[in-house]
Structure 1
């Protein structure tokens, strides 16, 4: 089969189908009737109806997920995607749920994450089916509904349906992501020492998502000093951005940073740590100043050194840490942070070190969420097959990669992330004006159809 020519032939159908899916604002809503709200239910029903109309076997698993399938045999090759999206947010050039094509790009919330890639995988299946190919294994496109929140949908699905022997998710990037770091979201809470000095920090607040480097943090400072002048001089000296204003003898000190995903915190600028660094330049009371210093030092670098968990391995690289939130008043300081640890790391040791760090500083440690790392060896036949097809289509000699993010590959007993972004693709997931290049989706269709052919012939 000429998969390149076939993918081009299906471009019009791809766009028609994916645009209909993208019109549905499938953001989570509380609902007594539908597990994740009616819009997500509608997206699931729409995708299943598309599959049914095209002659595939479809199944809705109690509204928690579903699948579209064809092929024979007991073994199942899974393709896991999701139909839920994050809230649109403000600032879009065109309405986020009114898909438009501009300059060869498809704009809409979910175009990249993950409805566009899901539809690319579906069209790949349809190409094989309409070419008369009869897979010797079942090819099952599994449709998730709660990926952007708690993964309850995919958990429910696999409690009721067969686990694929192997699978991939089109929710990351090419060539093949064969390992994903462990993910840990945690909180440390400390008592704040009294501050009897003439300059007092009344409160510090910043960040609300542990998986993002915070781009803003605010402190209220009480002082007889001209904090406005001190802060502006500090900003100029350190080439930072921020603002300060006086109100009733107090100063609102606002530090700006650069937000990036917590999987690459070194590429951003953490507004919280920058603000803590500034606060140390003020004449604070000795014990209080030491407390601010300790908090800063714990997160001064993004390699976990200050938390006593620094490590790396050859497979997935270094551990990364991100101070994602702070809520501090005159009595309590609560710190929320995200760690992404190497696949060879001992989670038990990391957990123990963090507990000891908190206890040694009279604080408490709480795990909010933990996802263990996953790792499929580079020389696994499944990885080698996917990589071979990718390199053939792109005329590259790429190797399998690792990442710090979390995909549905973790829901599989043996799985990887496989596309649908390419190295030069714009990464616009979760951002305003989210989009995909249509040419990227056509190439992804070619790669997915040939990969599924090789895996099941």
Structure 2
């Protein structure tokens, strides 16, 4: 049976975009201030989950909502289950957008919105791939379970809860449409380590507060410090620093204190070299003044050691594995307040085989810190061999549809593909694509979404026929 999956996608183009727009219009950022029993991560993620399940119900799938943590729908029957794992939550929009991040806008063939690339756009491309199989009535011998979560961008508590309470068996194999083609069959380990600082704040210059970063898996776009005391030629030195390092800045005076802001560029925490970490740049600038105590230690670590140390070399934790590549480090969240006893810097590590969170922690404890603690949630390195039929099938479909050679990839990003022992990430970004995940003006190329939908349709069919 020969099926033109690209033509089938084209017939459904407008419907696909309409459904996608309805999801993108929902601000599904996690908001713990509004979280409750009915909204475990705030109302936004729940609203997006409900909309997705509503679309599935409209199309005739049986659905299940697992207490607003996650949900799924199923199609087909069989002893084996193919799991598809996607997510409806998004990282904070942040600033610097040219359009409203929750008013999806197509311009020059690009669809701009928070979530267009990560992960609502790929999710709907994959959803329509399965929808084509259903509407054409293609014969299949396995069950497909399409699962969407609401906390992928934070701690994956959605999936912890889902697997414990969904009442269904774990899929035998599967993929997540949340990365890039041709395939991601390996993912580095992922852990956040927190540096703790404490002690009496003193010195001729005084650091009152220092804040930067929204999430551990985002490069801080900007950071702000409130300072006072001996700060000779603060304005002139700040202007010279901004010129030297090509960053923007803001300076304001407030009640005998100065509010200093450095503005860099956000990026995905798995690719910290793609951003400009406003927090480490601000710390580097402030280091020249006469701070003392924990403020001095805090700024020295942030501005001298962490500054552009994307591989952990200055930290002394650099490590490379022949297959999985090098460790990466993102200094993601900075919180200093002289009125509290515990001040922190959150370092997010993507590490390959051959090292561990505990080994990294032991090295970090040698810094000028009072303690180093680990996040409760983390992931160990994950790899599915090229010989696995799942990997081989997905690469074969990719090659057939694109004419490009498939190959394995290992990334620092963490996807739901690693939820399963035989799980990978598959699309939706194509080679040489501009990655705007976790950045301002995030976009998905509309034609690429259509190409991805056709690949997903054929890939799902080949896996379950």
TM-score by length of 1: 0.86
Change (3 A) 1:278 1:109: closer
Aligned to 2:15: 13
Report the Cα distance in structure 1 between the residues aligned to 2:344 and 2:43, rounded to whole angstroms: 36
* Comparing 412-421 and 369-378, the one that deviates more: 369-378
Contact 2:231 2:289 in 1 (8 A): no
Q: Structure 1 residue 58 and structure 2 residue 63: aligned?
A: yes
Aligned to 2:219: 213
Change (3 A) 1:49 1:211: closer
SS at match of 1:371: coil
Report the Cα distance in structure 2 between the residues aligned to 1:191 and 1:36, rounded to whole angstroms: 31
Aligned ranges 1:401-412 → 2 under 5 Å:
401-412=409-420
**Number of residue pairs aligned between Structure 1 and Structure 2:** 452
* Comparing 159-168 and 127-136, the one that deviates more: 127-136
- Listed as ranges, the gaps of 5+ residues in structure 1 are none
* Comparing 327-336 and 404-413, the one that deviates more: 327-336
Report the Cα distance in structure 2 between the residues aligned to 1:21 and 1:112, rounded to whole angstroms: 12
Per-residue CA distance 1:370-391 (angstroms, 9 max, x = gap):
2222221233221121112112
Report the Cα distance in structure 2 between the residues aligned to 1:326 and 1:432, rounded to whole angstroms: 20
Report the Cα distance in structure 1 between the residues aligned to 2:46 and 2:255, rounded to whole angstroms: 51
Aligned to 1:351: 361
Per-residue CA distance 1:258-286 (angstroms, 9 max, x = gap):
33222122233333333333344345679
SS at match of 2:185: strand
What is the RMSD computed on CA atoms of the aligned residues? 3.1
| The structure with more radius of gyration | 1
Q: 1:367 offset after TM fit, Å?
A: 1.5
SS at match of 1:324: strand
Contact 2:24 2:120 in 1 (8 A): yes
Contact 2:75 2:145 in 1 (8 A): yes
Q: 1:120 offset after TM fit, Å?
A: 1.5
Q: 1:332 offset after TM fit, Å?
A: 6.3
Report the Cα distance in structure 2 between the residues aligned to 1:239 and 1:110, rounded to whole angstroms: 29
Report the Cα distance in structure 2 between the residues aligned to 1:328 and 1:348, rounded to whole angstroms: 25
Q: 1:117 offset after TM fit, Å?
A: 1.7
Q: 1:168 offset after TM fit, Å?
A: 0.6
Q: 1:173 offset after TM fit, Å?
A: 1.4
Aligned ranges 1:96-115 → 2 under 5 Å:
96-115=101-120
Aligned to 2:454: 446
Aligned ranges 1:233-312 → 2 under 5 Å:
233-244=240-251, 251-282=258-289, 292-293=299-300, 296-300=303-307, 301-312=309-320
Report the Cα distance in structure 2 between the residues aligned to 1:95 and 1:257, rounded to whole angstroms: 20
Aligned to 1:140: 145
